[in-house]
Amino acid sequence: MARHPAIVIGCGGLGSAALYRLAARLGPGVLGLEQHALGHELGASQDRSRILRRVQHHRADALLVNPAYDAWREVEQLAGRQLVTITGGLIIEDAAHRAKAGIGTRTMSGYAPLLAEFGVEHEFLDAAQLAERWPQFRLDGDEQGLYQRDTAVVDAAAAVAAHQELARAAGAEILEHTPVRAVRPSPGGVEVHTDDAVLLTDRLVIAAGAWTAELLEGWGPPMPLTVTQEQVTYYRPHDPAPFAPDRFGVFMWHGEHNFYGFPLHAGGMTKLGEHMGGPVTTARTRGTDPDPVRQQRYREFLDHRLPGFAADEISTRTCLYTLPPDEHFVLGAVPDDPRVVVAVGAGHAFKFSALIGTILTELACEGRSRHPIDAFALDRPALTDPAFARAVAT
């Protein structure tokens, strides 16, 4: 039975970052297991762009923002390539959003206290100021805006590949097309069963996204995770200049639906997605075909609010969100067995992935992290109390 100082299951954004940090700490023998080919588009980390931002509406996330920016700078330096492009970021809230009930803290009033607490430079803007600075938008006049200049685009595919390259350079091995069939405790370590072998490790990190609950069967009560299928669409404007990163940054639109969009990136295309709202699915039953209803919703929003952003629709891609009831991350050890550490991204962890790799390594090697992650523990009420009220919107 082959023994490894650490094994990581899942080599997407979180898993690859953990693999690198574990290999840098423990040296050769650290192993990454990926059931598909590296760079596949069946999980949550594919695609070319993710948002990195200082504006947060939950304090637990805001505490990790500065270390995440530092971690990305470190990975860029080590990898010798640019992964982060600063574009500035704009949040627009319309009257329909303000009229909603039960929308949580994803509001201007929800952002403001944390911006003040953490000293984040920002600007609040009215509709007239928004229209003057970003004439690309078509506004009704009742909107409010929030601008933060450090918001950025992370090249997701390049970032995952960079972490994998750094991991291999530190002595890690990665096995593609190697699904894990079972994870079992034993007195000598944690057993990881694949089709070809039973592997033994002292430290196991599970970063398997939508497969997490299945892999944890037998390790306590079932983890209450909901998997949804989300999608983004890429467009090519007829006139790209107004949507270049130096003139048009990342944006979020809080209205009847919560949209997010990107300036020109990834081969001269813009991109629009909707946060949440996709159908519930599973890792085994999910599809890959886009939802035409959502495609049409995107088109109607852009025609109304951002004419010129989407002259030609190029492609639509699907991905998976894996969500605990409170829609926060899972970062912690399995109760009663610190040898097994679990990471679940809850649909918004990629921006923190360079830092989460360090957090998972600290948990696996020391049993604790120097970063404040108590809110993400596996024994919190959202994961242990069957009566916990699922979040309405976060």
Query: Model confidence over 286-342: pLDDT tens digits?
Result: 989 999 999 999 999 999 999 999 999 999 999 999 999 999 999 999 998 999 999
Q: CA 16, 21, 24, 29 torsion: positive or negative?
A: negative
The answer to whether 68 touches 354, Cβ cutoff 8 Å, is yes
Q: How far apart are CA 174 and CA 33, in angstroms?
A: 6
pLDDT band for 103, please (50, 70, 90 cuts). Answer: low
pLDDT of residue 394: 44
Q: What is the DSSP letter of 42?
A: S
Does position 45 have pLDDT exceeding 90, yes or no?
Answer: no
pLDDT band for 95, please (50, 70, 90 cuts). Answer: confident
Domain extent listing, the chain: 3-47+157-223+326-384
Distances (CA, A) of 38 to 28, 45, 165, 298, 307: 20, 11, 12, 30, 37
Q: How far apart are CA 172 and CA 169, in angstroms?
A: 7
What ranges in 200-288 are assigned the alpha helix state H?
212-215
Tokens 């209450």 label which residue? 224
Contacts for 162 with CB less than 8 Å, ≥ 6 apart? 75, 79, 81, 83
Query: Model confidence over 241-255: pLDDT tens digits?
Result: 999 999 999 999 999
pLDDT of residue 152: 98
pLDDT band for 104, please (50, 70, 90 cuts). Answer: low
pLDDT of residue 319: 94
| Residues recorded for the chain | 394
Q: How far apart are CA 184 and CA 182, in angstroms?
A: 6
Does position 168 have pLDDT exceeding 90, yes or no?
Answer: yes
Q: How far apart are CA 111 and CA 58, in angstroms?
A: 8
CATH architecture of the domain formed by 3-47+157-223+326-384: 3-Layer(bba) Sandwich (3.50)
Q: Which helix (H) or strand (E) holds 260?
A: strand 258-265
Mean pLDDT, residues 210-238 taken together: 95
